[in-house]
């Protein structure tokens, strides 16, 4: 009777790959700053694969250690990993989450040896493709220092295989500095998530700086970054313009996610507003930065036309309708008369229907304008504040139907509702000393 072991090595390798839990997790596993999903990185993801590997010598030979997940929650754990774990296991790590505790606040002289140890540890993970950084023991911004100017990049690229990097540290100064220390050491980086504008540099300056450092380190190659996920602290026309012009320096850029979280509010806010176009219009795109409610007819070309390689865009473009209503339903009161209630309800229904129609029409018209502006565009998203709750957002996704001669956007039938609890984000928006304990409490929830 045929058994599993009668199959060829290649077939068994394919079967084992489907058993591995990492095969179902996208790369990157993280999303935009408003997406507070539970992390997919977990050490047990390879449990079934490892059990299959232990069944016999042949399966042990075929099932090489790969796709392993690692969570390092303390400095002690990292040192144990470096000294005790076999090399074959170290080489099998594909995804890593770092939550390293801070050293003694008063001993700032430890920063350089700590950085050296961290780069040595990261260099040992030769198959690492995804890295999420929650905390690093390098912050000293509770002292007179406002950056990590003493730290230097090692001469070698300690991220040779890294494809996705997410910097989610709470300290606003560290959030500005770490991209300069990490991105140039990742020659194959394709997805970068970070926050900017909370420290001394705005987003455009930060992008230009680490792009310049990367280019000096790799003069014969171009940056491979395809996706940028950026959290901004504040919005003005100059900041948005500078950011998008800096993004255009990346020749391979295809996907851009840009969201605003102000320093005094950890909830998402619109980056750009799209004034509602007339229902019969097929043009539109009167886009202005969120803090400047001034229609600027050429603003769209100025802001978005500089990046013609984009295939996906979610810059929290908010549709601003001309008609508002903030009532979900019309509730009768004991003091109402039947006639007056009926009349009021009819007025409410007409206003609400008009709001929904004009909002959808405006999104459709502006999506068409974006498609004309960005010839490679394949999908995107629009946002509007929920008419029933101004603290909630509705996110409408759409794709380009290229089967038709006239490229047409196809919208989802039901938007995603982003509630404050889900959309909240505090990356890079805090003074480390005061709020580090708060972040630890949140991470433990």
| Mean pLDDT of all residues in 273-288 | 48
Q: Phi/psi of residue 344, each to 5°? A: -65, -40
Q: Is the pLDDT of residue 134 over 90?
A: yes
Going by their DSSP bridges, the two strands 272-275 and 287-289 should be labelled as antiparallel
> How many Å apart are CA 399 and CA 407, to the nearest integer?
10
Report the candidate in 49, 61, 58, 52 with the shortest Cα–Cα distance to residue 23: 49
160 vs 164: CA distance, rounded Å = 12
Which of residues 428 and 383 earns the better pLDDT score?
A: 383
Record the tokens describing residue 48, joined without a space: 């079934």
26 vs 21: CA distance, rounded Å: 11
Q: Which of 100-104, 125-129, 157-161 has the highest mean pLDDT?
A: 125-129
Burial of 333 (0-12, 13-18, 19+ CB in 10 A): exposed
What are the residues whose beta carbons fall under 8 Å from the beta carbon of 323, sequence distance 6 or more? 351, 354, 355, 358
DSSP 58: H
- For the chain, the average pLDDT equals 79
Among 290, 279, 246, which residue's Cα sits nearest to residue 383?
290
pLDDT confidence band for 282 (50 / 70 / 90): very low
Burial tier of 10 (Cβ tally within 10 Å: 0-12, 13-18, 19+): exposed
Q: What is the mean pLDDT of residues 208-217?
A: 88
Confidence of residue 141 (pLDDT cuts 50, 70, 90): low
Per-residue pLDDT band for 128 (boundaries 50, 70, 90) equals very high
Instruction: Categorize the per-residue pLDDT at 384 as very low, low, confident or very high, splitting at 50, 70 and 90.
Output: confident
Q: What angle (nearest 5°) sits at the alpha carbon of residue 228, between those of residues 223 and 234?
A: 125
How far apart are alpha carbons 151 and 177 in whole angstroms?
Answer: 10
Return d(Cα 382, Cα 48) in angstroms, integer. 41
> What average pLDDT score do residues 315-339 get?
59
SS (H, E, C) 189-202: CCEEEEEECCCCCC
Q: Is the pLDDT of residue 299 over 70?
A: no
CB 262 within 8 A of CB 233: yes
Confidence of residue 34 (pLDDT cuts 50, 70, 90): very high
CA atoms within 13 A of residue 388's CA, in its CB half-sphere:
9
Output the six-digit token pair for 91: 């080489």
Q: Which helix (H) or strand (E) holds 352?
A: helix 338-373
Highest mean pLDDT among 64-68, 149-153, 175-179, 350-354: 64-68
Cα radius of gyration (the chain): 25
**Whole-angstrom Cα distance, residue 270 to residue 443?**
26
- CB 32 within 8 Å of CB 259: yes
CB atoms within 10 A of CB 107: 9
Q: Which of 132, 100, 126, 177 is nearest to 33 (CA)?
A: 132
What integer pLDDT is reported at residue 242 of this predicted model?
84
Higher pLDDT, 434 or 375: 375
Confidence label for 225 from pLDDT (cuts 50, 70 and 90): very high
**Percent share of the chain, pLDDT over 90:** 30
Q: CB within 8 A of 197, min separation 6: which ones?
A: 203, 232, 233, 234, 239
């Amino acid at each position: 009777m045929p058994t599993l072991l009668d199959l060829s090595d290649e077939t068994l390798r394919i079967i084992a790959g489907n058993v591995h839990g990492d095969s179902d997790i996208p790369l990157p596993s993280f999303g935009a700053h408003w997406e507070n999903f539970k992390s997919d990185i977990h050490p047990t993801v390879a449990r079934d694969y490892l059990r299959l590997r232990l069944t016999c010598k042949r399966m042990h030979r075929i099932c090489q250690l790969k796709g392993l997940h690692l969570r390092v929650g303390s400095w002690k754990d990292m040192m144990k990993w470096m000294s005790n774990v076999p090399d074959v296991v170290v080489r099998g790590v594909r995804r890593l989450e770092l939550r390293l505790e801070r050293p003694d606040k008063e001993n700032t002289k430890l920063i350089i040896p700590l950085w050296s140890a961290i780069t040595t540890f990261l260099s040992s993970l030769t198959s690492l493709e995804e890295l999420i950084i929650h905390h690093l023991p390098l912050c000293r911004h509770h002292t007179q220092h406002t950056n990590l100017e003493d730290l230097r990049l090692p001469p070698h690229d300690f991220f040779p295989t890294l494809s996705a990097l997410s910097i989610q540290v709470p300290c606003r100064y560290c959030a500005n500095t770490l991209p300069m220390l990490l991105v140039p050491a990742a020659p194959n980086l394709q997805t970068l998530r970070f926050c900017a504008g909370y420290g001394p540099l705005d987003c455009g300056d930060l992008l230009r700086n680490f792009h310049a450092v990367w280019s000096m380190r790799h003069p014969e190659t171009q940056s491979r970054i395809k996706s940028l996920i950026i959290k901004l602290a504040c919005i003005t026309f100059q900041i948005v313009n500078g950011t998008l012009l800096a993004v255009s320096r990346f020749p391979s850029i295809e996907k851009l996610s840009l969201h605003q979280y102000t320093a005094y509010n950890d909830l998402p806010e619109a980056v750009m507003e799209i004034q509602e176009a007339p229902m019969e219009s097929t043009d539109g795109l009167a886009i202005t930065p969120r803090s400047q409610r001034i229609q600027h007819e050429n603003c769209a070309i100025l802001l978005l036309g500089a990046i013609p390689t984009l295939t996906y865009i979610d810059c929290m473009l908010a549709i601003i309708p001309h008609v508002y209503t903030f009532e979900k339903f019309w509730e009768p009161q004991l003091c109402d008369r039947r006639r007056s209630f009926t009349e009021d309800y009819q007025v409410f229904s007409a206003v609400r229907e008009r709001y929904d129609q004009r909002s959808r029409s405006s999104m459709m018209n502006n999506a068409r304008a974006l498609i004309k502006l960005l010839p490679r565009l394949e999908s995107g998203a629009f946002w509007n504040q929920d008419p029933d709750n101004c603290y909630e957002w509705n996110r409408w996704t759409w794709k380009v139907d290229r089967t038709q001669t006239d490229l047409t956007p196809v919208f989802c039938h039901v938007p995603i509702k982003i509630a404050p609890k889900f959309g909240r984000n505090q990356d890079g928006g805090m003074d480390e000393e005061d709020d580090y304990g708060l972040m630890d409490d949140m991470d433990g929830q």
